[in-house]
Each structure stands twice: as structure tokens, then as C-alpha cells.
Chains A and B, each alone.
Chain A
Amino acid sequence: MANTSITDGVLIKRYLEGNVAAFEILVNRHKDRIYGSVLNIVNDTYLAEDIFQETFIKIIHNIKKGSYNHEDKFLPWALRIARNMAIDNLRRKKRMPNVVTSDGSDLFETLLIADKSQEDIRIEQEEHAELYRWIRLLPEEQREVLVLRSYADLSFKEIAAITDTNINTCIGRMHYALTNLRKLSEKNSVRVK
């Protein structure tokens, strides 16, 4: 099945008609954004894996129950479920997000930047790794907005709907996140624009 031009809504419709491959395309299309967003919010690989699985089981259940009526807004709908799952899990397990200091360089994707020396690339990667660690130090509400906007590519309006807030609150939290990241960069004397 050629999948690039098929909308999420059509895939869900086909899945409901019995086409399991359509659901696999849907999962593969959104898995990284949903998993990555959850991981960046909860700061725990194992918990993120559990939440991701629980989220998709619930998605399957809701789709088959006929609860999905968001047409082609699948990602915000799925992220809302994932976020609620994350909060429920954190409460149930009474676990606070852990601050992980390093994920290992093997997880990095190499940036393909032409006309840059290996040394330039190494320095940039170190700066991005440092910034990533600071992002994980941000307060949960700020980190959540930043990740959903920057990583999951949701609009502030969609983030407001997911987090049960309003657009101005989301923009404010993003603004505080940026201010905090700047302070961290100044404190650590690392160049972040």
C-alpha cells in the first residue's frame, strides 16, 4: 500500500474495514513523535515504553469502539491520550521524572552538514547534547509545551487543547522555558545563542 498520500483519516477508515496494514502504516507514521514526546515529558525510557504501548492499545480500542471522530487530527488526539496516560502512570507509580545526565552518543543522529569540519560538527553536537540535558531539567509544564511545539510539531492551539489550558498559557510556558534555558547557558558558560 503506497502510504505517503493517504491521510490518517483514510487509514483509520480502512483499518475499521478490516485492513490491518493500514493501522501499521499509521503506527509507523507517528511512532517516533508520540514515543519521543512521551519520553521527553516523563524522562524515563522504561516508563515511556509502557506508556507508548498503553496509548496505542487504547487508540485501537477507541477506534474500534467508534470513538475516533477527529478526521485527520490523529496526532493531537493520540498525544492527548499519551499525555493523560503519562500523568496517570506518574501518579499511580508515585514516580517523579528522573534527570538523566546522558543518553550516550550512539543515540545521536548525525547531522549532515556540508562545508563543516569534523571539529565544528563535534562542537555542535556537544552543544546540542548540552542543550538537550538542560531541556530535561526544565519544569515539567515548560518542558511539555516545548517538546510538543518543537518536537511533535503541534500548534499552540493544539497544545492548549491537549493540556486543557489556553494559547496564552502555552506561549507563556514556552517563553519561561526559553528564559530558563538562557539562564542555564549563562550559568554554565556554554554558547547558546
Chain B
Amino acid sequence: MDRIITENDLLLYHYKEVDTDIHQYITSELPSRTDWMDYLGLLTQIDLSLTQHRKGPAPTTLKIILEQSQHQENPTF
């Protein structure tokens, strides 16, 4: 690889948005790069943290929405 891997590359790598050649290069070099692993570790922690706090809307809100979905008139096309 002719260019330096940036944190932006690592960001895109984590979310699988990086180009294939860069993805392969990062994967191959990762075991020897603790700084990269730390950065990717933070991203994983963020994903886990947000997932742990996953919440849904209240059942009454869903009920109102589903009632609305039944009652709204179909427009004339």
C-alpha cells in the first residue's frame, strides 16, 4: 500500500464502506497495529453502548399509528 492509512480509513473500514483493497490491507496489518485496534475498539464499544440502550416506542403510540393506518382515506388518483 503506497499511502498512509488514516483514521477516516479505519472509520470506513469498521462500517464496511472502505474500498476493497484498503479493506484487505487493514485486515492483514491489523494484528500488528495496536493503535488501529484501539480505534476500532472504540467504534465497537459505541455500537454496543447504543445497542444496549435500544428502546422502542410506547405500545399506545404504536396503537395510534396503526389505527391511523386503517382510517386514513385513500386519495383519488
Q: Give residues in A with beta carbon < 8 Å to B.
A: 15-16, 20, 23-24, 27, 31-32, 35-36, 39-40, 48-49, 52-53, 56-57, 60-61, 64-66, 103, 107-109, 111, 125, 127-129, 131-132, 135, 146-147, 149-151, 155-156, 171, 174-175, 178, 181-182, 192-193
Which label, helix, strand, loop or mixed, suits the secondary structure of the A interface? helix
Contacts known (A36-B55, A175-B11, A192-B42); A135 close to B49, Cβ less than 8 A = yes
A131-B45, A147-B50 are contacts. A66–B75 as well, Cβ < 8 Å?
A: yes
Minimal beta-carbon separation of A73 from chain B (angstroms): 16
Residues of the B chain whose Cβ atoms lie less than 8 Å from the Cβ of A61: 72
Hey, which bits of chain B sit against chain A, CB under 8 A?
A: 7-8, 11-12, 15, 17, 37-39, 41-43, 45-58, 61-62, 64-66, 68-70, 72-75, 77
Which of chain B's residues have a CB closer than 8 A to the CB of A15? 69
Please tell me if the beta carbons of B66 and A23 are within 8 angstroms of each other in the complex.
Answer: yes
B55 touching A39 by the CB < 8 A rule? Answer: yes
Q: Among B12, B15, B54, B69, point to the contact of A36 (Cβ < 8 A).
A: B54
B42, B47, B57: which contacts A49 (Cβ < 8 A)? B57
Chain A residues lying within 8 Å of B49, measured Cβ to Cβ, are 128-129, 131-132, 135
Least Cβ–Cβ distance between B50 and chain A, in angstroms: 4
B62 touches A31 (CB 8 A): yes
Once the chains bind, are B48 and A182 in contact (CB under 8 Å)?
Answer: no
Cβ contacts under 8 Å, A171 to chain B:
8, 11-12
**In the bound complex, how far is the Cα of B10 from the Cα of A174, in angstroms?**
12
Closest to B42 in A: A193
| Given A20-B66, A66-B77, 20 other A-B residues pairs in contact with their CB atoms under 8 A | A32-B54, A35-B55, A36-B54, A36-B56, A49-B61, A52-B61, A53-B57, A64-B73, A65-B75, A66-B75, A108-B53, A127-B45, A129-B49, A131-B45, A150-B46, A171-B8, A181-B42, A193-B37, A193-B39, A193-B42
